[in-house]
C-alpha cells in the first residue's frame, strides 16, 4: 500500500504561461507523480506523489531550467 503526499515547491524562473506548461509537463514525467498544479502568480508547483524521493522532482525541474525549493 502506498501513501499519498502533497508537496509544494517554490519554483523560480517561471515568467509566462509557457513556463507553467513546461513545469507541469516536467513534473508529470517524474515516475510517482500523480498530479501537478502550477501557480505562476505564486511561483509554486504542488505535486501529489506516492512514496517518491522529492530529490527526483527537484532534479527534473533543474534539468528543465527551473530552480525548485521545498
Confidence of residue 3 (pLDDT cuts 50, 70, 90): low
In this structure, are residues 8 and 45 in contact, taking their beta carbons and an 8 Å threshold? yes
The domain of 22 spans 4-69
pTM of the model: 0.79
Give the total number of structural domains in the chain: 1
Residue 57, H or E segment: helix 54-63
CATH of residue 29: 3.30.70.100
For residue 1, is pLDDT > 60?
A: no
Quick: pLDDT tens for 14-70. 999 999 999 999 999 998 899 999 999 999 999 998 777 778 888 898 999 998 876
pLDDT at 32: 87
Amino acid at each position: 500500500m502506498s501513501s499519498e503526499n502533497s508537496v509544494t515547491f517554490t519554483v523560480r524562473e517561471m515568467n509566462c504561461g509557457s513556463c507553467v506548461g513546461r513545469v507541469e509537463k516536467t513534473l508529470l514525467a517524474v515516475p510517482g507523480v500523480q498530479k501537478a498544479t502550477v501557480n505562476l502568480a505564486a511561483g509554486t508547483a504542488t505535486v501529489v506523489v506516492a512514496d517518491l524521493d522529492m530529490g527526483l522532482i527537484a532534479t527534473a525541474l533543474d534539468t528543465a531550467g527551473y530552480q525548485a525549493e521545498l
